């Protein structure tokens, strides 16, 4: 097994194992949360999480620029340059901490405008918000050191540490909710363990790369200018992406209700669980892609891209169909029929999930190829388009309209532009090939999804047994058809061989 393949395997294995543990704990935590606090608290949790996600625009994609700048010095064992880079990023992230705190405090007078109606909660909204603000801002004092671990293709180290901290955090939150029903204590536990995990990762980086604590040699003006150009380019890209990803919850809260935000959050938790697993797999390739894109030929890059594209679309297609078909029964059995939302809303949610999932591959290639400048305004265009369409569609179709607007905006502004950049400038090939292939995949998934939905409609068992049977039907039908259609393709055969080699190893 090559070094690159080994790192991918370790990163993917660590991510998968830990994600399954976290999914189980998060479902238990959500169940206790709903039973002890209620749906309005879910809405407030979702709203403030998204508000703070918007404020994290101050990070502006610096992390991606950091990781990219470290690929070469790590490969060349240039410890002096790595030390200089880390000291520069320390100063940058200290400034980010200050910016997030100031902007976060400045948002307080506007909180009431983000919530339609009076939420049924006992605690002061400002106090709750301050906990979320501290949770977001304090992490910036430590997370910059995780970048060198990621760039060194050892993301599994960070994943393991943060997952242990997350497991302890969720267990603590479950105990607190069960014993006290106190939301402030719930938030306190969240803050302590999340910050603790980041501090420990920082300690791990210091031990593995002790030279980053040495007195650094100042970077040249040219080096700094190159890094700042990449950061500024990523800033525009990241800002638009954050607005695109976070605006939905705020618009739903302001135009529909905070209760609806809570209802939607149950579905988004399921979707996020799937996304974390799938992103854990695809993210495991990122550092290795950086290495490949730095030294590989166009043909090698393109072949690997096609294999990862098949894996990505296969997995996201399966997850999308599974959620559409099974989610109604799952929610009904899990927390009750009053939490079930319409098929139209679920379909809109899944459309956004699938589109953003496939675009993740394009983003990974864009970052690891170093294309920070080209197309940097695409997310800003998507964000503006999303806000306009969300308000318009919300008046026509409610919650589903907001979600549909996000999918359309992502496809129009991000999907097309990023695919053109990586194909024309990265692979030196016609991007129409990629757009055509994606269209074929999507049409295939629609047909398979309709078939699965029709078969499952004959299962009338209102229990966990019924949910399991429905999930098995989707698994067998979907994967059976996909294997039948793709088993002769070169990508499928190469993936299968690589997978068997990993199992043997």
pLDDT tens string 107-155: 888 888 888 767 778 888 889 999 989 988 888 887 778 878 877 777 7
**CA quadruple 499, 501, 504, 505: dihedral sign:** negative
pLDDT surpassing 90 at residue 16: no
The answer to the question of residue 105 being in a domain is yes
Tokens at 492, concatenated: 């499928």
What span, in angstroms and rounded, lies between the C-alpha atoms of 147 and 154? Answer: 10
Is 398 contained in some domain? Answer: no
State the greatest distance between any 2 C-alpha atoms of the chain, in Å, as a whole number.
69
According to the model, what pLDDT value does residue 250 have? 84
The 10 Å CB-count burial string (b at 16+, else e) for 441-472 is: beebbeebbeebeeebeeeeeeeeebbebbbe
pTM of the model: 0.74
C-alpha dihedral sign at 410, 414, 416, 418 = negative
Closest CA to 437 of 330, 347, 309, 329: 309
List C-alpha distances in Å: 71 to 16, 25, 332, 333, 447.
25, 35, 48, 48, 42
**pLDDT band, very low/low/confident/very high, at 393 (cuts 50, 70, 90):** very high
In this structure, is residue 119 part of a structural domain?
Answer: yes
Domain count for the chain: 1
Q: Examine residue 34 and state whether it is found in any structural domain, yes or no.
A: yes
Q: Is residue 445 part of a domain?
A: no
Query: For residues 409, 414, 415 and 419, what is the CA-based torsion angle, rounded to 10 degrees?
Result: 160
To the nearest 10°, the Cα dihedral for 422, 427, 432, 433? Answer: -120
Calpha distance 389→406 (Å, rounded):
8
Distance, in Å, from the CA atom of 290 to the CA atom of 71, rounded to the nearest integer, reads 7
Residue 165 lies in a domain: yes
Answer yes or no: is 201 within a domain.
yes
For residue 199, count CB atoms less than 10 angstroms from its CB and return exposed for 0-12, middle for 13-18, buried for 19 or more: middle
pLDDT at 331: 94
Between residues 258 and 56, which one has the greater pLDDT? 258
Give the pLDDT band (50/70/90) at residue 320: very high
Most confident among 37-41, 162-166, 356-360, 442-446 (mean pLDDT)? 442-446
| Chain centroid offset of residue 362 CA | 14
Q: Judge whether 482 and 352 are in contact, CB under 8 Å.
A: no
Report the distance separating Cα 459 and Cα 329, nearest Å. 10
Q: What percent of the chain has pLDDT over 90?
A: 24
Could you give the CA distance from residue 271 to residue 323 in angstroms, rounded to a whole number? 8
Q: Compute the chain's Rg from CA coordinates.
A: 23
| Residue numbers of the domain that contains 163 | 1-257
Go through the chain and tell me how many residues it has. Answer: 505
* Helix or strand (DSSP H, E) at 290: helix 286-295
Q: Does the pLDDT at position 336 exceed 80? A: yes
* Residue 140: per-residue pLDDT: 81
- The dihedral through the CA atoms of 434, 436, 440, 446 has a sign that is positive
Residue 21 forms part of a structural domain: yes
What's the token pair of residue 478? 């979907």
* Residue 237's pLDDT band (cuts 50, 70, 90): low
Please report how many Cα atoms fall inside a 13 Å half-sphere around the Cα of residue 267, on the Cβ side. 32
Integer angstrom CA distances of residue 499 from 1, 121, 300, 361, 481 = 11, 50, 19, 19, 20
Choose among 179, 201, 177, 199: nearest CA to 189.
177
| C-alpha of 275 from chain center | 6
Both tokens of residue 386? 């999303």
Rounded-to-integer distance, Cα 133 and Cα 71, Å: 32
Task: Give dist(CA 480, CA 500) in Å, integer.
Answer: 19
What average pLDDT does the chain have? 82
Q: Is there a contact between 321 and 449 (Cβ–Cβ < 8 Å)?
A: yes
Work out the angle between the directed axes of helices 79-106 and 221-255 (0-180°, nearest 10).
30
Give the model's pLDDT for residue 225: 75
- Determine the pLDDT at residue 57: 57
Range of weakest confidence among 20-34, 184-198, 306-320: 20-34
- Sequence-distant (6+) residues with CB within 8 A of 198 are 139, 142, 143, 146, 162
């Amino acid at each position: 097994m090559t070094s690159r393949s080994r790192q991918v395997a370790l990163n993917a294995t660590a991510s998968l194992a830990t994600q399954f543990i976290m999914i189980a704990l998060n479902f238990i935590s959500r169940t206790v949360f709903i039973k002890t606090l209620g749906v309005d608290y879910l809405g407030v949790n979702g709203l403030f999480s998204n508000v703070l996600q918007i404020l994290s625009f101050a990070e502006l994609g610096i992390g991606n620029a950091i990781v990219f700048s470290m690929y070469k010095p790590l490969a060349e064992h240039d410890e002096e340059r790595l030390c200089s880079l880390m000291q520069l990023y320390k100063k940058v992230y200290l400034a980010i901490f200050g910016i997030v705190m100031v902007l976060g405090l400045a948002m307080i007078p506007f909180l009431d405008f983000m919530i339609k109606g009076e939420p049924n909660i006992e605690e002061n909204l400002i106090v709750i918000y301050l906990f979320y603000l501290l949770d977001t801002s304090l992490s910036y004092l430590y997370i910059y050191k995780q970048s060198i671990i990621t760039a060194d293709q050892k993301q599994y180290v960070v994943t393991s540490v943060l997952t242990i901290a997350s497991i302890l955090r969720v267990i603590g939150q479950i105990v607190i909710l069960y014993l006290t029903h106190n939301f402030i204590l719930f938030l306190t536990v969240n803050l302590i363990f999340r910050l603790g995990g980041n501090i420990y990762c920082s300690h791990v980086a210091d031990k593995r790369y002790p030279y980053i604590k040495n007195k650094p040699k100042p970077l040249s003006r040219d080096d700094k200018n190159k890094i700042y150009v990449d950061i500024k380019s990523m800033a525009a890209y990241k800002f638009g992406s954050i607005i695109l990803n976070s605006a939905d919850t705020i618009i739903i809260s302001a135009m529909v209700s905070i209760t609806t935000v809570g209802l939607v959050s149950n579905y988004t938790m399921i979707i996020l669980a799937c996304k974390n697993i799938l992103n854990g797999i695809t993210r495991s390739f990122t550092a290795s892609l950086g290495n490949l894109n730095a030294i590989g030929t166009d043909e090698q890059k393109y072949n690997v891209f096609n294999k990862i594209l098949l894996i990505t679309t296969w997995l996201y297609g399966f997850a999308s169909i599974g959620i559409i078909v099974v989610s109604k029964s799952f929610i009904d059995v899990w927390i009750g029929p009053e939490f079930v939302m319409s098929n139209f809303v679920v379909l809109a949610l899944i459309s956004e999930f699938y589109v953003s999932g496939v675009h993740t591959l394009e983003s990974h290639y864009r970052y690891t190829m170093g294309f920070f400048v080209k197309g940097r305004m695409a997310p800003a265009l998507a964000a503006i388009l999303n806000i306009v369409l969300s308000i318009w569609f919300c008046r026509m179709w409610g919650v589903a309209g907001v979600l549909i607007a996000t999918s359309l905006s992502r496809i129009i502004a991000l999907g097309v532009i990023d695919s053109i950049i990586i194909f024309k400038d990265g692979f030196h090939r016609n991007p129409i090939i990629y757009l055509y292939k994606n269209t074929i995949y999507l049409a295939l998934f629609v047909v398979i999804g309709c078939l699965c939905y029709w078969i499952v409609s004959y299962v009338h068992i209102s229990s966990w047994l019924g949910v399991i049977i429905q999930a098995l039907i989707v698994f067998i039908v979907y994967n059976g058809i996909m294997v039948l259609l793709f088993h002769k393709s070169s990508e499928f055969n190469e993936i299968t061989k690589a997978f068997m080699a990993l199992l043997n190893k």
